[in-house]
């Protein structure tokens, strides 16, 4: 998801009721995703860059995806921010559920980069039973895809807002909690405007539930690795990737009146948020390269050469 033209005719973020995703409840952070290299940014090098702070595009020689390039996988496992935070004694949690044994069964080329990073950190420890108990999240936010799998039974059916509140509960006590969501990219490739608007509002309701339930002082960093959904049907874009800095606490009630499906998409004024509610970090990130140093800095961990400000 990228930062595109504010045109409701072409951009689902401006047709949907989505003040949080438009930056109206926090700080909008347009993130340079091309890293000065020709071609279209892709998730393999993009996610590797944002999770490690290393320029994976230049290390590989080009944009590449959707998987982390083979020769950069050791770097991803060793130097991603989850691994480094754990090594420094921080409490880190990866909230996504994955099928038990899945990461060992599938070919490593087909593991999403963020999941590869979590595997490197030893954090792929939430499975179907955790979803059933409410101690994990499906990557789709709701459990719809999991409930369709053969043999999967008795999973709860949370709303997006309830899933957001679960994310908040699972994050309490952690120094860093990571959740990965992929469906916006899939919809950007082959979704309709109606589907995209509906999904943007699903993500919006998730974020609203998360922010309402987080304890005071909780901070949320939303980061995409490339543009796509803001220009439907055209594939990836060279637009800045969407970044958001959000802080806990309600602002103007539930965006759009609650969870998706409770009204006509785009049927209300989405400009009721409080843009001044988030103070933001001392140093605002400007590209994917800045994300890992920012997160590690917020944890009190600083790399040589990274300003401690």
Tens digit of each residue's pLDDT (9 = 90 or more) over 25-39: 999 999 999 999 999
Tens digit of each residue's pLDDT (9 = 90 or more) over 136-187: 999 999 998 888 776 777 899 999 999 999 999 999 999 999 999 998 877 7
Cα–Cα distance for residue pair 278/24, rounded to 1 Å:
10
Of 62-66, 93-97, 152-156, 199-203, the least confident = 152-156
Residue 112 token pair: 């999403």
Of 118-132, 190-204, 243-257, 259-273, the least confident = 259-273
Q: Give the model's pLDDT for residue 262.
A: 36
Residue 129 token pair: 């039973």
Report the chain's mean pLDDT, rounded to a whole number.
Answer: 86
What is the average pLDDT across 235-260?
72
Q: Is 3 left (phi over 0), alpha (psi -120 to 50) or beta?
A: beta
Cα–Cα distance for residue pair 81/67, rounded to 1 Å:
18
Give the pairing type, strands 92-94 and 243-247: unpaired
Question: In this structure, are residues 265 and 70 in contact, taking their beta carbons and an 8 Å threshold?
Answer: no
Question: Domains of the chain, with CATH numbers?
Answer: 12-298 (3.40.720)
Q: Is 296 left (phi over 0), alpha (psi -120 to 50) or beta?
A: alpha
């Amino acid at each position: 998801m990228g930062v595109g033209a504010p045109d409701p005719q072409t951009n689902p973020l401006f047709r949907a009721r989505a003040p949080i995703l438009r930056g109206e409840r926090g700080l909008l952070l347009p993130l340079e995703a091309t890293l000065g290299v020709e071609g279209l940014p892709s998730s393999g090098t993009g996610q590797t860059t944002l999770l490690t702070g290393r320029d994976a595009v230049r290390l590989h020689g080009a944009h590449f995806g959707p998987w982390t390039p083979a020769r950069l996988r050791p770097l991803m496992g060793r130097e991603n921010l989850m691994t480094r935070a754990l090594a420094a004694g921080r409490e880190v949690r990866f909230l996504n559920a994955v099928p038990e044994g899945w990461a060992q069964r599938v070919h490593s080329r087909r593991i999403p980069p963020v999941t590869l990073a979590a595997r490197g950190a030893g954090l792929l420890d939430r499975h179907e039973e955790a979803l059933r108990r409410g101690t994990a999240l499906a990557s789709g936010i709701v459990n719809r895809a999991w409930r369709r799998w053969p043999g999967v039974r008795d999973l709860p059916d949370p709303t997006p807002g309830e899933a957001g509140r679960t994310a908040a509960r699972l994050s309490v006590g952690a120094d860093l909690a990571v959740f990965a969501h992929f469906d916006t990219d899939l919809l950007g490739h082959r979704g309709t405007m109606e589907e995209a608007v509906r999904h943007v509002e699903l993500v919006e309701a998730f974020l609203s539930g998360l922010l309402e339930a987080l304890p005071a002082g909780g901070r949320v960093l939303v980061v995409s690795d490339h543009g796509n959904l803001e220009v439907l049907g055209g594939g990836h874009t060279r637009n800045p990737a969407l970044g958001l800095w959000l802080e806990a606490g309600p602002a103007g009630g539930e965006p759009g009146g609650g969870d998706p499906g409770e009204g006509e998409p785009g049927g209300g004024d989405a400009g009721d948020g409080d843009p001044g509610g988030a103070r933001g970090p001392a140093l605002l990130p400007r590209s994917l390269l800045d994300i890992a140093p920012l997160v590690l800095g917020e944890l009190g961990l600083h790399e040589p050469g990274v300003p401690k400000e």
